[in-house]
Amino acid sequence: MIDGMKNINIYICIVFGAFFTSNAQQKEFIHQIDKNEKQYIQFYFDAEKYKISEEYEQALILYEKCTALNPEESSAYNEIAKLYFYFNEWDNAEYYIKQAIDLDSNNKWYYYLLLDIYVMQNKLEEQIDVYSSLIQIEPHNPVYYFQKIQVLRELALYKRAIRFIKKTESQLGQSNDLSIELKNIFLDQNNFEKAEKTIRDVLKKDPADQRFLSELASVYLHFSKYDEAISVYNDLLAVDQNNPTAIIALYKIYANKKDVRNQEIYLSKIVDNPIINIETKKDIFYKLLIENNISEHESFQLIAEKALKLYPDEPIFNLILADIYAKEEQYALAIPHYNRSLNSGLIKDEYVYTKLIEIYFSQKDFDLALNTTRLAISRYPYSARLYYYQGLAYFNKNEYSQTVEALLMAEEFIIDEPLFKSEVFSLIGDSYHKLGSHTESDEAYVTALMYNDQNVYVLNNYSYYLALRGENLNTAKEMIVKCNELTADSPNASFLDTYAWVLYKLEEYSLAKTQIMKAIDLQTNSATLFDHYGDILEKLGLLNDALIQWKKSLLINPDDVHLKDKIKAYE
């Protein structure tokens, strides 16, 4: 742990002292030297013990005592520097390691610590000097040369870097790695001609060199010369038909060029290639999944199915195939693949649960939707969206109290999403209406509009329910007018019907007739619309016309007893 003690000077003094001192004095002097050395060693090892027990301040004090006892020994300075490095006290660390280097200038480990100090401070110029010193110590260690080149590139000292490469070649001989570094510098300078020439010069010696064919293709890619890159990658595949670099690069080039046919060809080659590892394949398919491109082309589905045959238990491939089937509404095929895609590590399982829930809603299987929300919430108990889906499932099962309970949980976890919060309170309002709790329903609708005053469904529903109760009709009219203004470019028959019914309640029958006729023009098979139209005509005294509309309504809804009574009263 301690470097060799520098005792040679001490012993020289002892030898020469023998000529000039008495024997007794000589013994006393040697005794004093032994005492100092023992004290030094004791301090040093005590400092090491304190350092191991993480009592760093005490260790620092003892190392300092070591330097006082023997200022010519480098080890203690090095240990002090390491402690200051640990404390992030860069100036002190640099000072002490330089002291150590002054005493032992050939110790590469001291230079490594000095490098670390400079790296932490991003002192690039100083790093160059350290690498130069290391090269002097170990002139045949190529790592130092390449690290120095990297730092010169970071500083954009390109001419200096090129000169250094030439000098290095004269010392170490020509090197393919140095040629690549030279090419990289020319890329940094956006010098296409020199970058290309550097690699082609190497290829003259061996035109089939796979490494440098790949490097040449990368030069063309850097300058967006895709056709040239494709040509070189094909040359590379002529040498090695399974070359993973060429296959992946060609896939990406064709993907960027939107050349779907060739993209499919190389995606299939990626799946089949035994050299390309599963993680790389997963990353490629994951990107396709995120970009939502995987289901756009039929052949992608075939490729995904092929991948799944090779890796049947791989979640990401199951997920991709599930998404393809779901988009095609092949839900029976999608569901098992979604279940097998859980725990992919790439996509949060919350996404998978959400897709399953959406499928069950589309199938109107609200029990399965509800069960899936319960399972998902057990995994993601702070997901507002999952509680919302749970509330929606309860609502469709006519379990309105549970709906409200789930939605209030959803509201608790919504952060900075006012539109979503409005939707939650909208459904709370609908649920309270179903429960006959009109005060709570009204409060929920008001809250929903507070978060989004353009929520047309809240404006419509709140207005309609007020009209049914005959309460706050002017407020109801204001809301439904706003609702229809917001949807003027895409009129909604239900919203126009609500407007007609509010006007009916306000006894504005002529205006009500105008609105209900607009609604019927949009939706010609609604029993409710014909029923309301008949009621409006009745108030206008047009009884025969009213009977015609009620009978149209009865044809659509023949079990409506109330409608039958109205017709019977006038026949």
Model confidence pLDDT, tens digit, residues 407-457: 999 999 999 999 999 999 999 999 999 999 999 999 999 999 999 999 999
DSSP-based helix, strand, coil % in the chain, nearest 5: 80, 0, 20
- Quick one: pLDDT band at residue 278, thresholds 50, 70, 90? confident
| Across 293-307, 321-335, 557-571, least confident range | 293-307
Output the pLDDT for position 290. 74
Across residues 53-64, what is the average pLDDT? Answer: 94
Output the pLDDT for position 532. 97
Please report, for the domain that includes residue 12, its CATH number.
1.25.40.10
| pLDDT tops 60 at residue 3 | no
| pLDDT tops 90 at residue 42 | yes
The predicted-structure confidence for 85-131, as pLDDT tens digits, reads as follows 999 999 999 999 999 999 999 999 999 999 999 999 999 999 999 99
- Residue 503 within a domain: no
- Residue 290 within a domain: no
Residues 502 and 477 sit within 8 Å (Cβ to Cβ):
yes
The predicted-structure confidence for 199-246, as pLDDT tens digits, reads as follows 999 999 999 999 999 999 999 999 999 999 999 999 999 999 999 999
Output the pLDDT for position 12. 28
- Residue 524 within a domain: no
Domain span at residue 24 reads 1-122
Domain count, the chain: 1
The whole-chain average pLDDT of the chain stands at 90
Of 246, 189, 242, 258, whose CA–CA distance to 221 is shortest? 246
Across residues 285-294, what is the average pLDDT? Answer: 73
- Greater confidence (77 vs 264) lies with 77
| pLDDT tops 70 at residue 31 | no
For residue 257, what is the enclosing H or E element?
none
- Residue 257 within a domain: no
Output the pLDDT for position 14. 32
- Greater confidence (287 vs 155) lies with 155
Q: What is the sign, positive or negative, of the torsion defined by CA atoms of 369, 373, 379, 380?
A: positive
Output the pLDDT for position 300. 77
Across residues 513-537, what is the average pLDDT? Answer: 96
| pLDDT tops 50 at residue 1 | no
Output the pLDDT for position 292. 63
Output the pLDDT for position 382. 96
Residues 453 and 486 sit within 8 Å (Cβ to Cβ):
no
Across residues 480-504, what is the average pLDDT? Answer: 97
- Residue 265 within a domain: no
- Residue 490 within a domain: no
| Across 6-15, 270-279, 522-531, least confident range | 6-15
Rounded to the nearest 5°, which phi and psi values hold at 242?
-105, 15
- Residue 274 within a domain: no
Across residues 355-366, what is the average pLDDT? Answer: 97
| pLDDT tops 60 at residue 154 | yes
List the alpha helices (DSSP H) in 74-225: 75-86, 90-103, 108-120, 124-137, 142-154, 158-172, 176-188, 192-205, 210-222
Output the pLDDT for position 541. 94
Output the pLDDT for position 234. 96
| pLDDT tops 90 at residue 301 | no
The predicted-structure confidence for 330-352, as pLDDT tens digits, reads as follows 999 999 999 999 987 777 899 99
- Greater confidence (94 vs 314) lies with 94
- Residue 538 within a domain: no
The Cα 125–Cα 502 span in angstroms is 80
| pLDDT tops 60 at residue 566 | yes
